[in-house]
Amino acid sequence: MTDVSVTTHVFDAAVDLFEVRDDRTEGHTHPAYANMVGPFGGITAATLLRAVERHPDVLGMPLSLTVNFAGPITDGPFDITARPVRTNRTTQHWSLELSQGGEVATTATAVFGLRRPTWSSTEPQAPAVPAPDSLEPTPLPDFIAWARNYEMRYATGVVPEEGSAEVADSTSTLWVRDVPSRPLDFASLTAMCDIFYPRAFLRLGRVLPAGTVSMTTYFHADPETVAAQSDSPVLATARAHRFEQGFFDQSARLWGRDGVLLATSHQIVYFKA
């Protein structure tokens, strides 16, 4: 692992890994990003992305990442295998596994690539919401440890209080950034794609058992655009489309300065109601 000093941001400590050798590396869960069962899914996804970024054979920048949460991750060390399965002229395809005690807990695939100047257009527009400084921070319940690492200022869809009624719209829109503030990079952007509490909570007005099964993130910005965000808040919005037989989907968009679309994310979530 790198030399993690007292000045290292907690996020960087959480995604820190040993040097990748022979497609393998090791890491350790971090208590600051604990969830109700195992670590926060966003930090797991970010750690897997970091394993590819640190691989000596990596080509280009992240284009997509799919993470399948196959089983629980327990507190402690873990192993990651990150293997480039095919490298083309402009794209590189990766297969990843996170395991503990010889048992696979998470699988993933990633695509990295080289971007080039082309015609560009963004069809959706960033939601029209108040400036972040005009909204009060609204934290998630304190027992959710990982949420303490984020400043969340909700414009719509705040986490429902106990005894809330059902609603017809599952949309939440909020400004979010790391606490303490930290310049945005692809790893932290990956984690932010999973900062939304389960959409079923909002629809039903109550907390219930739920967990992400699979999450795919698409990156729409190059490293210069991501770095230009610095530590400014990111505008994040998510909604579901259908709740059916124990599963629901969730689609998210994350916007940066000047309304630039940084990433979109899609996941399928297990729930019990």
Q: Is 121 among the domain residues? A: no
pLDDT in tens, 145-160: 999 999 999 999 999 9
ω into 84 cis (within 30 of 0): no
Mean pLDDT, the chain, as a whole number? Answer: 96
Report if residue 156 sits inside a domain. Answer: yes
Output the CA–CA distances (angstroms, integers) from residue 191 to 41, 182, 238, 245, 262, in the order listed.
8, 13, 14, 27, 13
State residue 36's pLDDT score.
Answer: 83
pLDDT above 90: percentage of residues in the chain: 93
pLDDT of 5 above 80: no
Let me know if residue 2 belongs to a domain: no
**Closest Cα to residue 15, out of 46, 58, 40?**
46
The CATH code of the domain that includes 169 is 2.40.160.210
Range of the structural domain that residue 83 is part of: 10-114+130-271
pLDDT in tens, 115-125: 999 999 999 99
Q: What is the DSSP letter of 60?
A: S
Q: What is the mean pLDDT of residues 35-64?
A: 96
190/79 Cα distance (integer angstroms) = 20
- Residue 122 maps to a domain: no
pLDDT of residue 3: 61
Q: Which amino acid does the sequence have at 183?
A: P
Given this model, what pLDDT does residue 2 score? Answer: 63
Nearest to 248 by CA among 191, 195, 194, 201: 201
In a domain, 230, yes or no: yes
The count of structural domains within the chain is 1
Q: Is residue 124 part of a domain?
A: no
pLDDT tens across 195-241, in order? Answer: 999 999 999 999 999 999 999 999 999 999 999 999 999 999 999 99
Would residue 245 count as lying in a domain?
yes
Mean pLDDT across 246-258: 96
Q: How far from 271 is each of 69, 74, 111, 200, 201, CA to CA, in Å?
A: 14, 21, 29, 8, 10
- In this prediction, residue 6 carries a pLDDT of 59
- Indicate whether 119 belongs to any domain: no
Record the tokens describing residue 210, joined without a space.
């739920």
Distance CA 60, CA 180 (A): 29
Q: What is the pLDDT of residues 163-206, one digit of tens each?
A: 899 999 999 999 999 999 999 999 999 999 999 999 999 999 99
Q: Averaged over 64-73, what is the pLDDT?
A: 97
d(CA 261, CA 170): 21
pLDDT at 46 > cutoff 70: yes
